[in-house]
């Protein structure tokens, strides 16, 4: 599948097959994709604990809690707990030295001296600030996005779940003090159709993106829209006509209680 189609057909899949294990190799490919994502200063703060329901101790499974559409935790065969290791920031100097040695940062004769005398000291004053929520989360998000696309490309469905219970999960999983739980990601084989009801609503392009200053909408070419539609990136909007019937079918098949919102 071409990248455009991967981007366009990926959906948050809330309904997964609970009985079907996910091959370790497929999860590994997701983690490999996350590992090579960009991160400021090459700090690489993204970490994860993969919880496989078929092999994890019950107390580890019980440690996972999410308040919004939390039934997904019970249904998914695999849940990835993504977290940010703030201590990775402490190694910033070494990561920059590695970048320089790799030929990715700087050029010319004086680059090593400039790194040691100017850039690394500049970062050292900022390390504690850089551990606060901000750029690190952005970069972890890039890794998680790559893992998500890799999951989709392998026929898996995933949904990210935010949780205010990060500290509880951190304690239950005995993560280091320096960890900050970011989100949970359910992973499994989809129980729903690949369209999952269609392209979820998005705000108008022109309201989101600007050209040469705020308030001047970035022009949206209809030809490009047509091209991306042809390529499978822009797809029919949700809800597809049969979605409610599909939801009812899934509710029964997965024996789901209530309304699925909490
Ligand atoms: C960081 C993050 C946290 C999310 N948390 C939840 C959640 O707690 N429960 C849930 O059902 N969906 C959650 N979602 C999924 C979004 O609701 C979903 O992306 C949105 O409905 C759009 O659907 P799509 O991903 O198929 O385009 C989360 C998504 C992201 C990126």
pLDDT value, residue 58: 92
Ligand 1 atom closest to residue 182's alpha carbon, by position in its atom list: 1
pLDDT value, residue 68: 86
226 C-alpha to ligand 1 centroid (Å): 27
Q: Is 65's pLDDT higher than 90?
A: no
Out of 161, 166, 198, give the residue to mutate to test ligand 1, the one with the largest number of ligand atoms within 8 Å of its CB.
161
Instruction: List the domain boundaries for the chain.
Output: 3-89+127-197
Stretch 62-67: mean pLDDT = 87
Provide the percentage of residues in the chain whose pLDDT is more than 90: 95
pLDDT value, residue 121: 94
Q: What is the pTM of this model?
A: 0.97
Q: Is 41's pLDDT higher than 90?
A: yes
159 C-alpha to ligand 1 centroid (Å): 6
Q: Is 3's pLDDT higher than 90?
A: yes
pLDDT value, residue 89: 97
Cis ω for the linkage preceding 239 (within 30 of 0):
yes
Average pLDDT, the chain: 96
CA dihedral for 54, 60, 62, 65, sign (positive or negative) = negative
Exposure string over 167-191, b if 16+ CB within 10 A, otherwise e: eebbebbebeeebbbbbbbbbbbbb
| Residue range 3-89+127-197 in CATH 3.40.109.10 | yes
CA distance 159 to 19: 17
Out of 8, 160, 200, give the residue to mutate to test ligand 1, the one with the largest number of ligand atoms within 8 Å of its CB.
160
pLDDT value, residue 172: 92
């Amino acid at each position: 599948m071409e990248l455009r189609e991967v981007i366009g057909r990926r959906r948050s899949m809330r309904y997964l097959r609970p009985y079907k294990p996910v091959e370790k190799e497929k999860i590994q490919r997701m983690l490999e994709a996350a590992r090579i994502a960009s991160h400021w200063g090459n700090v690489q703060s993204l970490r994860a604990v993969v919880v496989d329901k078929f092999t994890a101790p019950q107390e580890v499974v019980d440690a996972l809690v999410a308040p919004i559409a939390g039934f997904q935790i019970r249904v998914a065969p695999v849940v990835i707990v993504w977290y940010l290791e703030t201590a990775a920031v402490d190694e910033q100097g070494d990561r920059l030295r590695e970048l320089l040695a790799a030929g990715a940062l700087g050029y010319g004769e004086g680059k090593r001296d400039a790194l040691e005398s100017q850039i690394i000291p500049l970062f050292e004053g900022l390390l504690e600030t850089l551990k606060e929520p901000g750029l690190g989360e952005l970069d972890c998000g890039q890794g998680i996005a790559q893992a998500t696309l890799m999951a989709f490309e392998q026929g898996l469905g995933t949904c990210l779940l935010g949780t205010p219970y990060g500290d509880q999960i951190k304690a239950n999983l005995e993560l280091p003090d320096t960890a900050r739980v970011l989100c949970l990601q359910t992973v499994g084989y989809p129980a729903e159709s690949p369209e999952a009801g269609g392209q979820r609503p998005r705000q108008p392009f022109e309201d989101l993106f600007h050209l040469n200053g705020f308030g001047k909408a970035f022009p949206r070419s209809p030809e490009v829209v047509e091209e991306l539609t042809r390529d499978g990136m822009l797809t029919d909007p949700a809800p597809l006509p049969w979605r409610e019937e599909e939801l009812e079918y899934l509710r029964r098949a997965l024996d789901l209680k209530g309304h699925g919102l909490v």
